[in-house]
Chain A
Amino acid sequence: MSANTNARKLLADALSMPEQDLPADIRIGSIDQWDSLAHARILLALEETIGKPLDAAEAATIESVTDIAASLSRHAKTN
């Protein structure tokens, strides 16, 4: 599966939404479901997937499905 597909799946799980209902360009603040608690769930799910805590600089960049996909790709290469 591509990083983008994995990112959408991660988001759908964290937001408790069907994957097909996620907007293609979903990002922080773009839908009500991505609220403060969901943001915590997203980052924790991302850390669980990559198997380690994100450092503060990388965590700060996570604002969209694209950012999540980029993080997954980056860590797939380094694992």
Chain B
Amino acid sequence: MMRQPSARPFNCFTERYVLRSLTPADLSDRWGGWSADPEIVKPLNIAERRMSKDDLRRYLSRFDNVSKFLIGIFAKPMSLHIGFYAIDTSSVHATANFNIVVGDKSYWGKGVVNETRSALLDELFEHRGIEKAYGMPLARNHPAVFNYKAQGWKLEGILLGQCKSVTDGGRLDQYQFGMLRSEWRARKGRKS
């Protein structure tokens, strides 16, 4: 009989943040409120709707900590939950697809994404067998695009009209940014 891969929740940290797989104990009205804020969800092309704890529980249940990870971003020193990563990995292709939400707007523009994503790239590339990471922000999500560029990801393609807008039904363009493990190691080598 084939052995099922076992769950490996994330648990790592940076200078200012803790990153760990979310659990039912993390469900909160605060988290549920992020999806009702147009400033947060519009750049992600998600319809505004407050998520109840039951909604969040159902969402959380999609992540198995085997190939799909929902990782909370917690600000030190009070462990304030300020956002999360949804990461889908493929063991066949050794890839990881990144999606990020910083829900606490008081942390916008403070370098949260690249500080935390750096730790996750280290973990994925060095300890979890991932060879390529990629992210697909909407072209109009300028802060996300900035973060990918500032962190040295390569713009691999522009997908014209890839998504249908949840607000007006128009077509939205999307970028694909990629980072190979070799590129990440070379970048870290240059910086150290």
Contacts and interface: CB of A to CB of B under 8 A. Distances in A.
A39 interface: yes
Interface stretch (B87-95, B119-127, B140-148): B140-148
Interface of B: 108-111, 113, 139, 142-147, 149-150, 155, 158, 160, 173, 175
A39 B155 contact: no
A38 interface: yes
B112 to A, nearest CB: 9
Contacts of A40: 142-143, 146
Interface in A17-73: 28-29, 35-40, 43-44, 55-57, 59-60, 63
A28 B160 contact: no
A61 to B, nearest CB: 9
B147 A36 contact: yes
Contacts of B175: 56, 60
Contacts of B146: 28, 35-36, 39-40
Contacts of A55: 173
A39 B175 CA distance: 16
A39 B108 contact: no
21 contacts: A35-B109, A35-B110, A35-B111, A36-B108, A36-B142, A36-B143, A36-B147, A39-B143, A39-B145, A40-B142, A55-B173, A56-B139, A56-B173, A56-B175, A59-B139, A59-B142, A59-B145, A60-B155, A60-B158, A60-B175, A63-B149
A44 B140 CA distance: 10
